[in-house]
Amino acid sequence: MVANPMDVLIVGAGPTGLILALFLVKQGVRVRIIDKMSMSAETSRATVVHARTLELYRLAGLTEKCLAQGQPAKASNIWVAGAIKGRVPLAEVGKGLTPYPFLFVLPQDIHERILNEEAERCGINVERNTELLNLTDHGTHVTAELRMPDGGKETCTTSYIAGCDGARSAVRNALNMEFVGDAYHHLFYVADIEGSGPCMNNETHMNLDEADIIGVFPYDKPGHCRLIGMVHDERVDRPEALTLDSVGSRAIDQLNMHIDKVNWFSTYRVHHRVAEHFAQGRAFLVGDAAHIHSPAGGQGMNTGIGDAINLSWKLASVIHGKATADLLPSYETERRAFALKLVQTTDRVFTTLTAESVVAGIVRRRVAPLIVPLVLSIGRAREFFFRAVSQIGINYRSTLLSEGATGDVHGGDRLPWVADANGSDNFASFDDRIGWQVHVYGLAKGILREWCGSTNVQLHEYEWHQDQYQRTGLVRDAAYLIRPDTYIAVADLVGDAKAFEEYAERNRLVFSGVAGS
């Protein structure tokens, strides 16, 4: 059987695959999304949605829905020997940098439920119990062989295929793509529990007393939380025999927790790997199919979502004839460089946290509880930390799609967030809109207005406020061409549209309007 052609076949319906589907559909792209599992995950490893993800979700009208279902963590507490030895306030740790200056806790199962509901609203049908068996790239299209829920086989034709199917990606395997890296010796466990104690206070908690570190994250109601911990001794080889009592009882006792009910408990192993390539011909790897790393900093799911949004506007542009296929290699260029850096960083942090030497134990138990809160009380250190963890510091400055600079703001940077005294902000222009925009902070030149009108690119002018804008690096009356993923394509001091015209010509882009929901 040969199905009707489609624009993009998405393999994998976790957060990454769902976001890719949603962002493509909202840009008028025909998608089909399959998943070999019978249902969405009812358990979750990812618990944090970072500020950059919440910013990008505004493009698809998802931010408020997420904010209504999760909660900001007020603080992070460091426990040693049964007592809190350090506390880091988190409620406004990124104040002035983003409209979401906090660590936002939204467990993956709730997160996926929100995305599935939005997908259904947008007419996206996730085909479950459907597995990719093989694919063939013909140069002009891709054929994919699928195993259907009834056990039969189907061959479908698609313009592009995206593997959002995790660490054991069938798409990556079909491409014979190397997944370079290694596995950590540690075995991780995660549990959903109900109980009582000082950790049930809507704050995060980290027990550093032993190398078997355990983290506590608030969930959806009082007395309900997620535990994440590690096993590193001989029990690593017997995961099927493990229970929460057998691996976490000592740490739980040290945290003064009383557990009334364990809703679920599971174990998993963690690798640090990056695919040799993120794209091959008409096939793309996204999220865990392309890179996996330690859970340090809660970066995995958020990075996959960033991949999906980066790829979505590029695929949509090519499919709609607004760009040539030469645009597509920029996905790998931009996202693989970040993935490599992220894997190196999280590996260093994880190795430091879990080292078993005497010195490492002293650092964990005595130095870290004192130094971490002290360092993060310093403004610049706190800002550096938040930019890194929240992913608002990601930039594509060195890539071909990034040009120009106005002071400290460069092409390739995330557009700085600014708000006025009335509470309105420049990110409001992204709400439910995916498309090219021009921002001017001050007064736009007449020739720029004409260019925006002729190209149907939205122009947003903001009255200049010296105090709010200059500190971000924005320059008065300069013009900023903003990509559909809210990164700056061109930062132009002159602001007369010539730089934008030349940029479009060099990159063979056609600008046009906004894709609504």
Q: What is the pLDDT of residues 341-364, one digit of tens each?
A: 888 887 777 676 666 667 767 777
Which one is predicted more confidently, 153 or 296? 153
Cβ partners under 8 Å of residue 260, min gap 6:
193, 194, 195, 196, 223
Same domain, 149 and 53: yes
In a domain, residue 485? The reply is yes
Of the pLDDT bands very low, low, confident and very high (cuts 50, 70, 90), residue 502 is very high
Same domain, 407 and 340: no
Last residue of a domain, one of 327, 345, 363: 345
> Which two tokens mark 195?
């109980």
HEC secondary structure over 2-30: ECCCEEEEEECCCHHHHHHHHHHHCCCCC
Between 76-90, 292-306, 439-453, the lowest mean confidence (pLDDT) is in: 292-306
pLDDT at 42: 62
Of the pLDDT bands very low, low, confident and very high (cuts 50, 70, 90), residue 380 is confident
Section 238-260 average pLDDT? 80
Residues 38-68 as b/e (b if ≥16 CB within 10 A, e otherwise) read: eebbebbbbbbbbbbbbbbbbbbbbbeebbe
Last residue of a domain, one of 345, 361, 386: 345
CA distance 430 to 424: 13
Q: List the CATH number of the domain containing 441.
A: 3.40.30
Amino acid letter, residue 459: L
Statement: residue 58 has pLDDT above 80:
yes
Same domain, 315 and 463: no
Statement: residue 215 has pLDDT above 50:
yes
Same domain, 432 and 296: no
Of 207, 222, 212, give the one whose Cα is nearest residue 260: 222
pLDDT at 3: 46
With tokens 């904010």, the residue in question is 67
pLDDT at 354: 66
Same domain, 340 and 407: no
pLDDT at 409: 96
Q: What is the pLDDT of residues 3-18, one digit of tens each?
A: 447 999 999 999 999 9
pTM: 0.92
In a domain, residue 458? The reply is yes
pLDDT at 44: 60
Statement: residue 51 has pLDDT above 60:
yes
Cβ partners under 8 Å of residue 44, min gap 6:
107, 108, 109, 110, 111, 112, 190, 226
Q: What is the pLDDT of residues 182-193, one digit of tens each?
A: 877 778 888 899
CA distance 181 to 179: 7
Of the pLDDT bands very low, low, confident and very high (cuts 50, 70, 90), residue 297 is low
Same domain, 27 and 135: yes
Kindly give the residue spans of alpha helices, DSSP state H, lying in 158-288: 170-174, 244-254
Section 27-49 average pLDDT? 86
Same domain, 329 and 468: no
- Provide the residue range defining the domain that includes 314: 6-38+49-57+107-178+276-345
Q: What is the pLDDT of residues 305-328, one digit of tens each?
A: 999 999 999 999 999 999 999 999
Q: List the CATH number of the domain containing 156.
A: 3.50.50.60
Statement: residue 82 has pLDDT above 60:
yes
Last residue of a domain, one of 330, 345, 360: 345
Same domain, 163 and 310: yes
pLDDT at 2: 44
Same domain, 326 and 412: no
